[in-house]
Amino acid sequence: MLGEIVVGLAIGSAYSLLAVAVVLVYSGTGVLSLAMGEIGAFSLYAGLYAHDHGIFGWQPGVFVAGLLAVAGGGVLGLVVERFVMRPLVGRPALDGLVATLAVALFLALTELYLYGLDPFAAPSPVGAGTIEVGGAVLTATELVLFGLAAAVALGLYLFLTRTKFGLATRATTSDPVVARLLGVKVNRVYVFAWGVGGLLSGAAAALLAPINGSLTPFSLTTALLSALAGAVIGGLDSLGGAILGSMLVGVVTGVVGSRFDPAMSAGVVFVAVLATLMIRPRGLFGSPRAAT
């Protein structure tokens, strides 16, 4: 049981990185992004390909390949923001959702075209070491995931509440037009949301793929669905709520999935999402705005 919970929490931590990426983009730009999984997966594919086959005679190690995935995710996020999302500012929210769906589809199908359907081996960027803590065996990947999820949560919380730019971000969230009139460079907020979102997506991909055992097209988008479920349950515009919701979904997936079967755990998550949207649409910790 304890082992299953630990695995669930580790998966939940990876989901929470994706969920934070979604919440950042949602509260920064009002767009519910479905691209947050595949952005990381795409750059992880590139990193792992370089690790396996080398590029320009340079063959990075697993750790550097992971860093490449993180950096590549950030760059890809910026590219998507500049060339796809920015032209859509002011268009209906559904257009933004469809655009990110299109980006996810394009990235995943391109992965399929470039690398084929066979799963890519995804060694952990932090090695395969384990340590035992109080009866539970923790892998290095899991340990790093816990640390990273906590650091990201704390870092973003401090950033958004203690810095001027964080204030600008929150102002943009509440009303982009007024924020612009008050002198906030709204575009910078959009760039920040997509850039950091992309970095988080890369990190989630690099750490989740080894737990899943391999990397396949759409696998990170499938993980993103769990993260989205968590974000809806916790509150789409609440960082803390989204993290907690993702952890819950992760633990349910870990425990119910191994005690019963994966269909059962996915069913529990579906029912939970349905119940949240019917009973408390804003989620556990979301603001009323999250339910409009």
Partner 1 sequence: MQRPESRHAGAGVLLVGALLAPLALNLPQTSIIVTALCFGLVALGLDVLIGSTGQLSMAHGALYGVGVFTALGLGSRGAPWPMAFAAAIVLSAVVAVIVGLPSLRIRGLQVAIASLAFQLFAQQLPNTYSQVKSAGRTFERPGFLVDETHLYYFGVACTVLVLVLLNRLRSTRGGRSLLAVRDVEARAAAFGIDTGRTKLFAYGVSGAVAGLGGALFALQQASVSDLQPFILRESLLLVAVVVIGGARSAVGILFAAFLLKGLPGLLGTDGNVAFLGDVSQWLPPALALLLVVSVVLQPAGIGGVLRDLNIRLTPKGERLPPRPQPTDAALATARARMLRDVPRPLKERLPVPALLVADQVSVRYGGVTALDALNLEIRRSEIVGLIGANGAGKSTFFNAVSGLAPTTGVIRYRDRDLLLSPPSSRSARGLARTFQEMGLVRSETVRENILLAQTWMADYPMAAGLLALGGSVGTERELRRRADQALELFGLQHLAGERLGDLPYGTMRIVEIASAVASGPDLLLLDEASAGLTPDEAHALGDRFKALRDELGLTLVVIEHHVPLIAATCDYCYCLESGALIAEGTPAEVTAQPRVIESFLGRGTLQPETLRPEEVLA
- Residues at the site binding partner 1, with contacts judged by CB under 8 A: 32, 84, 87-88, 91, 93-95, 97-99, 101-106, 108-110, 112-113, 217-218, 221-222, 225-226, 228-229, 232, 236, 261-264, 266-267, 269-270, 273-274, 277-278, 281, 290-292
Q: Is 159 exposed, middle or buried (0-12, 13-18, 19+ CB in 10 A)?
A: middle
Residue 136 CB, shortest distance to partner 1, in Å, is 27
Residue 164 CB, shortest distance to partner 1, in Å, is 30
Residue 68 CB, shortest distance to partner 1, in Å, is 22
Nearest-10 crossing angle of helices 186-212, 62-80? 140
Strand ranges for 112-165 from DSSP E: 120-121, 130-133, 136-139
Residue 63 CB, shortest distance to partner 1, in Å, is 30
C-alpha dihedral, 228 to 230 to 234 to 235, nearest 10°: 0
Residue 36 CB, shortest distance to partner 1, in Å, is 13
- Token look-up 């995943």 returns 108
Query: Which of 188, 289 has the CB closer to partner 1?
Result: 289
CA distance 83 to 276: 34
Query: Which of 66, 77 has the CB closer to partner 1?
Result: 77
Query: Which of 75, 291 has the CB closer to partner 1?
Result: 291
- Alpha-helix runs per DSSP H in 90-139: 93-115
CA distance 89 to 189: 13
Residue 257 CB, shortest distance to partner 1, in Å, is 10
Query: Which of 56, 113 has the CB closer to partner 1?
Result: 113
Query: Which of 121, 264 has the CB closer to partner 1?
Result: 264
CA distance 86 to 82: 5
- Residues 160, 238 contacting (CB under 8 angstroms): no
From the list 242, 248, 237, the residue with the least C-alpha distance to 291 is 237
Query: Which of 175, 261 has the CB closer to partner 1?
Result: 261
- Residues 233, 23 contacting (CB under 8 angstroms): no
Residue 118 CB, shortest distance to partner 1, in Å, is 14
Pairing mode, if any, of strands 214-215 and 130-133?
A: unpaired
Nearest-10 crossing angle of helices 62-80, 36-53? 140
Query: Which of 2, 274 has the CB closer to partner 1?
Result: 274
Which amino acid is it at 207? L
